[in-house]
Amino acid sequence: METGTSVKSIYLDVFQPAQREMGRLWQTNEVSVAQEHYCTAATQFIMGRLYPYLRIAARNGKRVIVTCVAGELHEVGARMVADLLEMEGWNSYFLGATMPTSGILSAVAEWEADILAVSVTMHYHVELARKLVSEVRRSPDAGSLKVMVGGRPFLVAPNLWRTVGADAFAPDAEQAVSTAARLVA
């Protein structure tokens, strides 16, 4: 940061590849579960310390709720999406891991969000995302809310976002920002 590297670059060029490499090392038994947990805890700790360095653009008056579906423990990617949107002037409400559907629906109503951004990592949570999107669509409080999805299953199967009924998908936090802008334009 002191040599001028942006938070975005540290997120996308350091933490993201490091976390994914950690997963590969865990899968191939080259690191222990404890080492993998420690690495993620360190990443999250440093992300928290970088927060004061986020350069927040002028507020755009838009609100986004960023959440993981119920049961989904992988929250680092969603947090990156939330932070980069905040930097671009969004009011970004990050709900974190394993959010019950009912809680997400209440948050949508309470905060009158423009976009609901849903993160899924485990393939067995995709169905829950589909149900969440359909419940959001039926909710009288949702108004013109748009739904954006992202995370590992949507990277592996590029058209899956349509199957869950979302309005859009983005492959990373940087593109989530441009996609969100397009959705509310």
Q: What angle do CA 3, 78, 130 make, to 5 degrees?
A: 160
Shortest Cβ 18–ligand B12 spacing (Å): 8
CA distance 154 to 146: 17
Which of residues 92 and 121 has its CB atom nearest to ligand B12 in the complex? Answer: 121
Q: Give the shortest CB-172-to-ligand B12 separation in angstroms.
A: 3
Residue 98 gets the label, from left (phi > 0), alpha (psi -120 to 50) or beta, of: left
> Which residue number, 2 or 26, has a Cβ lying nearer to ligand B12?
26
- State which residue, 59 or 182, has the beta carbon closest to ligand B12: 182
- Minimum CB separation of residue 166 from ligand B12 in Å reads 8
- Please, what is the minimum distance in Å from the beta carbon of residue 165 to ligand B12? 14
Smallest distance from the beta carbon of 82 to ligand B12, in angstroms?
Answer: 9
Among residues 22 and 160, whose Cβ is nearest to ligand B12? 22
Q: How far apart are CA 165 and CA 180, in angstroms?
A: 16
Q: Which residues bind ligand B12 (CB under 6 A)?
A: 12, 16, 19-20, 22-24, 27, 36-37, 40, 71-78, 80-81, 117-119, 121-123, 148-152, 155, 170, 172-173, 176
For ligand B12, the closer CB: 57 or 73: 73
Nearest-angstrom CA–CA distance, 91 and 73: 23
**Residue 96 region, left (φ>0) first, then alpha (ψ -120 to 50), else beta?**
left
Contact 68, 97 (CB under 8 A): yes
